[in-house]
Chain A
Amino acid sequence: MNEEMASIGKSIVINGELSGSEDLTIEGRVDGKIELRDHVLTVGTNGRIKAQVSAKAIVVLGSVTGNLNATEKVDIKESGSVEGDIVAPRVAIADGSHFRGSIDMQKKDGAADKTHFNKPEAKSPKTEKTDKTDSVPVNGEFARV
């Protein structure tokens, strides 16, 4: 049961389309397109990807330029860098990582679960209790305190 995970070493350069049906770690360079429909793609710290990526889950420790599409999750670690658009139901971005692009976490079955969103009015007790609120609300114009 100790299955070895497929990997692309850091001296490997691939230009073109890469697809598979097992989890994959990339430490090298890939330009083109990557498709691992039901599996996890890990871009290692040495990995440099310029590609459109589709996978079940994508973990980024290296650098990716291109759009990421995951059916489960995209996880950008502290050392990771992504420039591109992300579409995934769950996205985790670590502090210190680099990201530029857009993030769409809308679920196919009808957007995010807004029923869990507490509208601001409902949270007033916490607002009232805090002693850190040193604000003076002024609607439409400024005031001095």
Chain B
Amino acid sequence: MKTEQKNGGFSGLVSRLSRQSVPSDDDSGRVAVAPRTVTAVAAETGYASKTLARFLDLLFARPAAVVLDLGPVIGSNITFLGERVGCKIHVEDLYADIDRHIQHDKLDQLPEFLSGRFSMPDSSVDAVLGWDVFDYLAPGAAAALASQLMRLLRPGGVFLGFFGARASDDPRYTKFVIEDETHLRFRFYPSACKRRWVLQNRDINIMFAGLEICETVLLKSGVREILFRKRILS
């Protein structure tokens, strides 16, 4: 509500935007507003995430868990996971890697790069926070990353990913901030890459064939929050 007061005449539009549950690419709310206004509103946006709650619940059950975070480093996430959940955290900012490949005009080399990106041994990670990175990866790169994540996860390990419903022309990424055990906040920051790739459910299932889906939440914007778990071989 604070945001509405600050923006005066935009209150209706701001109110509509602030009700968005995820970083949507909904055209109806964005066309008439300067990007800075949208960013300011988005910076205040948060929502309840049931997959996050389940993710943390599963993580909590694993003592001294190792977490791989594929997003940019967020201080408060580190504090939350490290101090409150008691995890060891590996931060590997793949968004920066994508930007670097775009800037050097080497995007075609991204699949090969991702195949050798992680030095950790097989089955050494309990949980992966993948955020929405797959929305920015071409099919070849996405498959290479998925393969690596399945390699890294321990049996019973979990992977949380967000999959968008539509492409966007906005060159920006999203920082997801863990507010508490059940709530996420997000804010945007500029990027060299646009959200270009929309994975169909079938593609996701094929790509993560080594994992089973333990929770799916479909948000109103069409974003799918999916929690995968690596099968435990008997």
28 residue pairs from A and B, CB less than 8 Å apart: A90-B83, A91-B79, A93-B75, A94-B75, A95-B74, A95-B75, A99-B91, A102-B91, A103-B90, A103-B91, A104-B88, A105-B86, A106-B88, A111-B63, A112-B85, A114-B86, A119-B56, A119-B60, A119-B181, A121-B53, A123-B181, A124-B182, A132-B47, A133-B21, A133-B48, A136-B218, A137-B216, A142-B224
B93 CB–A CB distance under 8 Å = yes
Complex CA distance for A143 and B217, rounded to whole angstroms: 9
Category for how many chain A residues contact B: 35 or more
B53 touches A123 (CB 8 A): yes
Contact of B84 among A92, A116, A133, A137 (CB under 8 A): A116
B196 CB–A CB distance under 8 Å = no
Q: Return the chain B residue nearest A130 by Cβ.
A: B48
Complex CA distance for A112 and B216, rounded to whole angstroms: 30
The smallest C-beta distance from B191 to any residue of chain A, in angstroms, reads 14
Contacts of A93 in B (CB 8 A): 73-75, 78
B19 touches A135 (CB 8 A): no
The smallest C-beta distance from A133 to any residue of chain B, in angstroms, reads 4
A108 CB–B CB distance under 8 Å = no
Complex CA distance for A92 and B21, rounded to whole angstroms: 28
The smallest C-beta distance from B135 to any residue of chain A, in angstroms, reads 16
B170 CB–A CB distance under 8 Å = no
B79 touches A92 (CB 8 A): yes
A11 CB–B CB distance under 8 Å = no
Contact of A119 among B19, B57, B221 (CB under 8 A): B57
A126 touches B91 (CB 8 A): no
Complex CA distance for A122 and B53, rounded to whole angstroms: 10
B201 CB–A CB distance under 8 Å = yes
B100 CB–A CB distance under 8 Å = no
Interface contact tally, CB-CB below 8 A: 148
Complex CA distance for A97 and B86, rounded to whole angstroms: 23
User: Besides the contacts A106-B64, A114-B84, what 8 more A-B pairs have beta carbons closer than 8 Å?
Assistant: A92-B75, A121-B53, A127-B50, A133-B48, A134-B47, A138-B218, A140-B213, A144-B218
Q: Return the chain A residue nearest B223 by Cβ.
A: A135
Q: Return the chain A residue nearest B202 by Cβ.
A: A142
Contacts of A144 in B (CB 8 A): 218
B73 touches A97 (CB 8 A): yes
B88 touches A103 (CB 8 A): yes
Contacts of A122 in B (CB 8 A): 181
Interface residues of A in 8-36 (CB under 8 A from B): none
B54 CB–A CB distance under 8 Å = yes
The interface bits of chain B over 56-71 (1 if a CB of A lies within 8 angstroms of the residue's CB, else 0) are 1100100110000000
Count chain B CB atoms within 10 A of each CB in A92, A100, A135 and give the residue with the most. A135
Which 8 pairs from chain A and chain B are nearest by CB? A112-B86, A120-B53, A134-B220, A105-B82, A93-B75, A99-B73, A134-B21, A133-B48
B38 CB–A CB distance under 8 Å = no
B91 touches A127 (CB 8 A): no
